Amino acid sequence: MSTNDASAAETSNLSPSAPATNKTQSTDAQGQFTEAVDDLIDQLQHKFDTVSREMFGKFDDMARRLDDLEASLSVAADVGTTSTPTPAK
């Protein structure tokens, strides 16, 4: 066996492990990507929940204020109609 044959045999022995290493690196990269996407989705979910809570709080506050305004207008209308006598002609 010549030295060229020996180095060819060594190269062929290295080839099967190279795809395994690439596959491991690919799996690691895929796992890191999946983890990053999961973290991003969790962050977006947290932000969405926060914004939703704030919006519903503001809607509730606005509804309460509108109810108060409606009640005060109703009271003002009742006071205005009962206290103002109609002029007799």
How confident is the prediction along the chain (89 residues), in pLDDT tens digits per residue? 455 555 554 444 545 555 567 778 888 999 999 999 999 999 999 999 999 999 999 999 999 999 999 999 999 888 877 765 566 66
What pLDDT, on a 0 to 100 scale, did the predictor assign at position 18? 54
What pLDDT, on a 0 to 100 scale, did the predictor assign at position 4? 53
Token digits of residue 66: 């509108």
Residue 51's domain spans which residues? 43-76
The verdict on residue 55 lying in a domain is yes
What residue type is assigned to position 8 of the chain? A
The verdict on residue 31 lying in a domain is no
Q: Return d(Cα 40, Cα 49) in angstroms, integer.
A: 14
DSSP one-letter code for 4: H
The verdict on residue 54 lying in a domain is yes
The verdict on residue 67 lying in a domain is yes
The verdict on residue 81 lying in a domain is no
The verdict on residue 62 lying in a domain is yes
Phi/psi class of residue 79: alpha, beta or left (left: φ > 0; alpha: ψ in -120 to 50)? alpha
Predicted TM-score of the model (pTM): 0.52
User: How many domains does the chain divide into?
Assistant: 1
